[in-house]
Amino acid sequence: MNVEQDLAKLRRLNSMVNGPLKLVINEVLAVTPLVIDWINVQTSGSAVCRYKPDNVRQYEVRYQFGNIGNLVHELTHVAVNESYNLDFINYPNRTSIDLPDRELDILGRCKNEDLRQTKQMSQSMNTAKSDILMRIKGWTDASTELSPAQKSDISNKLIYGMINPHKESDTVLNQILVWLFEWGFPVTGQYINKPVVNALYEELSTAVKTAHLERKNSRLRNKIREK
The pLDDT-based confidence of 226 (bands split at 50, 70, 90) is low
Burial class from Cβ neighbours inside 10 Å (0-12, 13-18, 19+) for residue 71 reads buried
pLDDT tens, 116-167? 999 999 999 999 999 999 999 999 999 999 999 999 999 999 999 999 999 9
Burial class from Cβ neighbours inside 10 Å (0-12, 13-18, 19+) for residue 56 reads exposed
Question: For the chain, what percent of residues have pLDDT higher than 90?
Answer: 90
Helix H or strand E segment including 57: strand 56-63
Distance CA 51, CA 33 (A): 15
- Residue 45 near residue 70 (C-beta atoms within 8 A): yes
pLDDT tens, 179-205? 999 999 999 988 888 999 999 999 999
Q: Domain range spanning residue 216?
A: 3-226
User: pTM (2 decimals)?
Assistant: 0.96
Distance CA 39, CA 64 (A): 8
Question: Going by DSSP bridges, is the β-strand pair 46-52/56-63 parallel, antiparallel, or unpaired?
Answer: antiparallel
How many folded domains does the chain comprise?
A: 1
The pLDDT-based confidence of 96 (bands split at 50, 70, 90) is low
